[in-house]
Amino acid sequence: MRYLQTQEGLPRVSWGAVFTGVTIALIAYVFMSVLGAAIGASLLSPLAHEDSARAFGFGSGVWLIVTTIIAVFLGGYFAGRCAPLLGWLHGLLSWALMVLFVIVAMTSIVTGAAALVGNVANAGLAATASGSGASAVNALSQEAGNAIASMANAASAPLSQTDTRQAADTAARAVARASWFSVAALFVGLVISVGAGSLGFRQQPAVEKGTIAPPIHPDRATGRV
């Protein structure tokens, strides 16, 4: 007689399942982003509509939200699907790794862009100096000095107390809106990833273990009737 038993010794966390979810989420994000760019470029018509740029910006924001939701859901679902135990935990871990990946990628992009701008500026100055000689360098230095002096004069111009307060209030509101939007986006992503991981999780199938001999009645063992 065989009996069924669930597998024992399964790891609580499978990093293979987590990275599977992250990979699928990133692929889905890239695919949806390229698709959105293609659709937006096809529909954009500056000559036909005056506010096409504003509409394109609004549509891009909506598409970005939809793309993020789909990517997070797919990543959490497949992470939970491949998990041996605790599907919701694997969905949560896949979401956390996706957030870290996005932060690292954005930091690298910003750093690379800043370095590229600096290299281009330095190359332009070097080309100007080598092509035009000392007169071009002197002219450039004079223009730079004039620009710096103008900026200094503008900065030293006194601002009214009302303008200062309005500027500070506008900046504070912008920072507050951005911060609350980021918190809401992270919370929604966390909920979606946990729910998708739980939805995708499947209990491990039972396996057959050994054989058990049927019980022997004491009277039959001694030959008694």
Q: Which of 118 and 132 is assigned the larger pLDDT?
A: 118
Q: Which residue matches tokens 């939200």?
A: 65
What's the mean per-residue pLDDT of the chain? 74
pLDDT tens for 30-55 read 999 899 888 887 777 655 556 666 66
pLDDT grade, residue 195 (50/70/90)?
very high
pLDDT tens for 133-143 read 455 545 555 66
List, as own/partner pairs, every contact residues 96-103 make where C-beta atoms lie below 8 angstroms and the sequence separation is at least 24, other chains included.
Answer: 97/18, 97/19, 97/22, 98/22, 98/25, 98/26, 98/71, 98/72, 99/186, 99/189, 101/22, 101/26
Rounded to 5°, angle at Cα 192 from 191 and 197 = 100
pLDDT at 192: 92
Domain range annotation of the chain: 2-106+193-213
pLDDT at 120: 66
pLDDT at 225: 47
Please state the pTM of the whole predicted model: 0.64
Task: Give how far Cα 213 sits from Cα of 1, 42, 100, 112, Å.
Answer: 7, 73, 55, 71
pLDDT tens for 98-126 read 889 888 888 888 888 777 777 766 665 55
Task: Calculate Rg over the CA atoms of the chain.
Answer: 32
